[in-house]
Amino acid sequence: MKLKIKYPIIVEGKYDKIKLDSLVDAKIVTTGGFSIFNDEEKIGLIRRLADKSKIIILTDSDGAGHLIRSHIKTALLPNQIINLYTPYVFGKEKRKREPSREGALGVEGIDSKKLIELLEPFSVDAPEKDKEEITKADFYKYGLGGKDNSHRAREELLKRLDLPLNMSANAMLQAINILYTKEEFEELLK
């Protein structure tokens, strides 16, 4: 049985959509890759969806996915967006002869169990969690922000968590708040 997701999901391409369609029951919109930069109708559709409910942005963890995600984010309000990040896994999708330029798997190549794990908190059956948020002050406390070696510490943690290395501190904070409770986060840092 497919996982029913509360919010529309924005992905880069048709193969990402095909992969997610096999796993979840959700509205899935493709950006058409870089064509989103010149497609005002697609941006308009995404804005309309975001006006009705939050949207999930699930682009690849490579540089191209980062650019596409950033472009979509400029068209929306921060409270309309749920940013989900796939692990940064080196490999090649089955349908391709060569790996991507950066050598990382896209959404279509990520393990199905991992995708379900990422999306499960946004299913219609997921219990609403009233959890304590991890804050910028916590990042400072643990050396992940505001200190000379904070960038290096964040990069090491991103590697351990299999998150994209090109994430800003704010994006990293948002992703960690989605993926972990404060207690789990503190346990990870031990």
* pLDDT given for residue 130 in this prediction: 65
Percentage of the chain beyond pLDDT 70 is 97
Q: Which residue has the higher pLDDT, 4 or 188?
A: 4
Rounded-to-integer distance, Cα 65 and Cα 106, Å: 9
pLDDT, one tens digit per residue, over 65-74 is 999 999 999 9
Q: What is the pLDDT of residue 129?
A: 63
CA distance 17 to 15: 5
Between helix 112-119 and helix 14-21 the angle, nearest 10°, is 80
pLDDT given for residue 93 in this prediction: 80
pLDDT digit string (tens) for 159-186? 888 787 778 888 889 888 887 888 888 9
Q: Where are the beta strands (DSSP E) in 6-161?
A: 9-11, 24-25, 28-30, 55-57, 81-83
pLDDT for residue 151: 92
pLDDT tens figures, 104-136: 888 999 999 999 999 998 998 876 666 788 999
**pLDDT of 19 over the 70 cut:** yes
Residue 63: the pLDDT is: 86
For residue 129, give both structure tokens.
Answer: 């969690």
Domain ranges in the chain are 3-122, 136-188
Q: Look-up: residue for tokens 């959404």?
A: 107
The rounded distance, in Å, linking the Cα atoms of 165 and 80 is 24
Q: Which fold has domain 3-122?
A: Dna Topoisomerase Vi A Subunit; Chain: A, domain 2 (3.40.1360)
